Amino acid sequence: MEALAANGSSILFYVFGALAVISALGVVTMRNPMYGAISLLSSFLCVAVLFLLRHAEFLAMVQIFVYGGGIMVLFLFVIMLINLHRLPEVKKFAGQSPVVILLALLLLGFFGWFFLQADFGPGFTRPEAFITADGEPLGNSQAVAWSLFTRHLLPFEIASIFLLIAMIGAVVLGRRQ
């Protein structure tokens, strides 16, 4: 029991990392896009737990709300909107997929080897950086908000314009001619 408590975060990382990878594999292999979407949701939730383990509490909640709530609902709506009557007889993978598997494994091997070579040293030297807003220890949400509205105000405004453009684009694309 003590060993479990001492290694809790490591165990959580391995369990939820494995679940995220399995669900991601489900996304790319499921024939029915509905099962794929549920798989994607599970992957997002597992990644949210991994965010929590890295002291990104606000971002974990944003991940669950925006990905798990907004984007997933959008996907599910569209999957239900278009009818998939020819589902059983269509081919799942395109003709180039053996080459793609090879390239993905090559990419994975190359970068994996590179990551394992790299030594980043001890991290998390200033834990207070994640909870300090305006010089006071208030919490992660306040710290992110403080950073967003002071140092990163211009990108924030550009993001809002980007969202407006995306919204107009989606409306124009979805309009009946």
Partner 1 sequence: MLEVTTTHYLVLSFVLFSIGIFGVAARRSMITVLMSIELVLNSVNLNLIAFSYQLSDLTGQVFAIFTITVAAGEAAVGLGILIALFRLRETTQLDEATELRG
Between the alpha carbon of residue 101 and those of residues 91, 96, 150, 171, 174, the distances in Å are: 17, 9, 44, 36, 34
Q: Establish if 68 lies at the interface with partner 1 (CB under 8 A).
A: no
Distance CA 101, CA 109 (A): 12
What are 167's two structure tokens? Answer: 């919204």
153 sits near partner 1 (criterion: CB under 8 A):
no
Q: Which of 15, 80, 137, 159 binds partner 1 (CB under 8 A)?
A: 159
Q: Identify the residue among 61, 79, 138, 142 touching partner 1 (CB under 8 A).
A: 79
- The smaller minimum CB distance to partner 1, of residues 105 and 136, is found at 105
The reply on whether position 150 binds partner 1 by CB under 8 A is: no
Rounded to an integer, what distance in angstroms lies between the CA atom of residue 4 and that of residue 10?
Answer: 9
- Per CB under 8 A, 101 contacts partner 1: yes
Tokens (6 digits) for 159: 């993001």
CA 27/CA 169 separation, integer angstroms: 27
- 51 in Cβ contact with 60 (< 8 Å): yes
Establish if 67 lies at the interface with partner 1 (CB under 8 A).
yes
Q: Give the Cα separation of 103 and 58 in Å (integer).
A: 36
Residues 80-99 vs partner 1: string with x where CB under 8 A? Answer: -xx-x-x---xxxxx-xx--
Does the footprint of partner 1 cover residue 45 (CB under 8 A)? no
| Residues between 110 and 149 with contacts to partner 1, criterion CB under 8 A | 111-112, 115-116, 118, 120, 123-127, 129-130, 143-144, 147-148
Number of residues located near partner 1, criterion CB under 8 A: 90
